[in-house]
Amino acid sequence: MLEKYIDPELVLRVRLNGTVTAQQLAPYRRSDLLLYGQERFFHLTIDDDGLKIETPQPHEALQRTTPLEELRRYFRSALEQALPEEMEIIEEAMKLGEKMLQEAGAW
Q: What's this model's pTM, rounded to 2 decimal places?
A: 0.48
pLDDT tens track for 39-56: 899 999 999 999 999 887
Which spans in 1-107 are helix H? 22-25, 30-38, 67-81, 84-103
**Does the pLDDT of residue 107 top 90, yes or no?**
no
| Strand 41-53, strand 7-20: pairing | parallel
Q: How far apart are CA 35 and CA 60, in angstroms?
A: 42
Q: What is the pLDDT of residue 77?
A: 95
**Does the pLDDT of residue 64 top 90, yes or no?**
no
